[in-house]
Structure 1
Amino acid sequence: MADKVQRMSSEHGVMIFSKSTCCLCYAVTILFRDLGVDPYVHELDHDSEGKDMEKALVRMGCNVSVPAVFIGGKLVGSTNEVMSLHLKGSLIQLLKPYLPD
């Protein structure tokens, strides 16, 4: 399942594995949109393999399964990691290749 997660995240510049009921997932998605990036959001609770994908995300290093943010195919982390990068000014640097010209 980790292979599928990695493949999906590599196919999209900015990807968020999410749950439709997760307010932190929503907040991270809105943050990216406010920064000018339209992330691909995959709702695990709407996927028959969602539970297995969640377990794979934890094994890949997400301390909590959602939101799991990938940028350029690399795992950035969850809300804490994303917000920390944003507050340091580093998030926008990671997102530059995916911002509209």
Structure 2
Amino acid sequence: MVAIEQLVKEAINNNKVAVFSKSYCPYCSKAKNVFKELGQEFYVIELDQDDKGSAIQQYLAQLTGQRTVPNIFINGEHIGGCDSLLAIKSSGKLVKLLNN
């Protein structure tokens, strides 16, 4: 579990935007498209395509209390899922967060 914890923390801390996703999830696609539309690079781990995906998702649930995907972090801060991302986008806070 230490390796999983380290992998997750490195993904979160070494990238402005980290998205833990599943390739077939429509909410994940919608969230990733928000970043693409803004021209924002993001790091993604597709949990359904990674052999450690279920362990990563389990650790994320412990870390954030969120069991669902997408699980999004910006500047090391847990944002939440797609609905949370869309809410901060419509409030204008997303662009400010990305420019920090």
Q: Give the whole-Å Cα distance in 1 for the aligned partners of 2:5 and 2:84.
A: 20
| Long gaps (5+) in structure 1 | none
| CA offset digits 1:17-65 (Å, max 9, x no partner) | 1111101101100111101202111101111110011111111225343
Dislocated runs of 4+, deviation >4 Å: none
- Give the number of equivalent residue pairs: 97
Structure 1 residue 3: Cα displacement:
3.6
Percent pairwise identity: 30
1:20 and 2:14 aligned: no
Q: Give the whole-Å Cα distance in 2 for the aligned partners of 1:86 and 1:43.
A: 23
**What TM-score does the superposition give when structure 1 sets the normalisation length?**
0.86
Provide the alpha-carbon RMSD of the alignment.
Answer: 1.4
**What TM-score does the superposition give when structure 2 sets the normalisation length?**
0.87
| Long gaps (5+) in structure 2 | none
| CA offset digits 1:62-87 (Å, max 9, x no partner) | 53431011111221111121111111
Q: Give the whole-Å Cα distance in 1 for the aligned partners of 2:55 and 2:10.
A: 15
Q: What is the identity, as a one-letter code, of the residue corresponding to 1:50? A: G
